[in-house]
Structure 1
């Protein structure tokens, strides 16, 4: 679940809760322990770390191939990075719940509810608050993992966030993370991955956040930059979650032509 999974045409500009909480002791302790171990075990090939501004608002917009992506980006970036994750990772009970909360807090995750409508708006607002605290925020414009390795069309939430918060966008290309933890695998495998941080993009020249055309053009520019880094085959369509029932299949068939 990410804020990128929603086209924010409906987003209410009503006052949001206060500023996002910056990563604290648990994050830096976890980073200090996990980063050296991950680099020793997985030996990631990293390029372009200098493209990430040391301070200020920055969106790391990445392709999405595996659950492990949300661990790889924070552990290879040169500054603390936050991202959105399912709220259930933070609400478990007992020892297992504690482990989950501690782990996701340590890698910079912020819990949000899944869903559309108000839940989608809350996710966008959470991303906005993170950026407005002059932090780095990672997002997957495709909305969900690519199961076939292709690069899907980006959703315009990433552009809305960039234009609303006046944030620079750094495209990220992940290569090989699906080999570490393929879909359905419980435990990661030892495989070498490549992480490419591209040159920063200023999307403000496309227009303002309230312009659908500006958001679409900015998103397409970001996705083109990600494609340049990864070389993935282009899907030229949205990465939709397969409908689970008859009603959902009918609704998707009716509404899909309207998604542009």
Structure 2
């Protein structure tokens, strides 16, 4: 099993309800509508309303961190989101704000440590966790080969809490420009939650490979729909 190091000090949640409330107002009613030419969300009926959920979006821009809460956060699901954030982004005043808004640091080069332990604890408490499974921002229309971190976390949660039916929610974010600028159009396509009950989690290496491949396939199907901007009259 991919058992992470639980002897390290766990990260304590430091989400600020009032700051999140202000951020939602600014983001929903001012920043996103003002900056983008059009922002369309498809598939919100697919968002699980309860239980442990790993939200796994494609990652094309820093704007994704604002768009995902808009698409699946408090207003859409009734839940605040917890974000994995690169430890390099968690410094100074920026790091303070990120922590207060649900972010916590993760060292992407390690499979042990407080950040991953905290991810597991979030899911054991049946909350929503956001992971960008490509591992970074990638411009362009193609989904990159995914990291196996999502699968490892699912396996460890199932090992510690076998009754926990973790749901994985694939999401495609597409911009009409590779480098989103003023009046860029955005389409967010939320897929159906993946069914992990088909895995017995006895062969961890094989299961992590299969789960990662399945997630990648879901993201590619969502992300490469033909003429999506024309279909939605976003040209």
TM-score with structure 2 setting the length:
0.76
Q: How does 1:50-199 map to 2 (within 5 A)?
A: 50-77=45-72, 78-79=76-77, 80-92=80-92, 97=93, 100-101=94-95, 103-105=97-99, 107-112=101-106, 114=107, 116-117=109-110, 120-165=112-157, 166=164, 167-176=166-175, 179=178, 181=180, 188-199=181-192
2:43 to 37, 41, 48: 48
Q: Would you say the 8 A contact 2:171–2:190 is kept in 1?
A: yes
Compute the displacement of 1:169 (Å): 0.6
Measure the CA separation in 2 of the matches of 1:209 and 1:130: 23
Compute the displacement of 1:102 (Å): 5.3
Q: Would you say the 8 A contact 1:47–1:196 is kept in 2?
A: yes
Q: Would you say the 8 A contact 2:135–2:146 is kept in 1?
A: yes
Compute the displacement of 1:160 (Å): 2.0
- Unaligned 5+ segments in structure 1 are 1-8, 182-187, 234-260
The number of aligned residues is 211
Q: Which residue does the alignment assign to 1:252?
A: none
CA RMSD, Structure 1 to Structure 2 (Å): 2.8
Compute the displacement of 1:124 (Å): 2.2
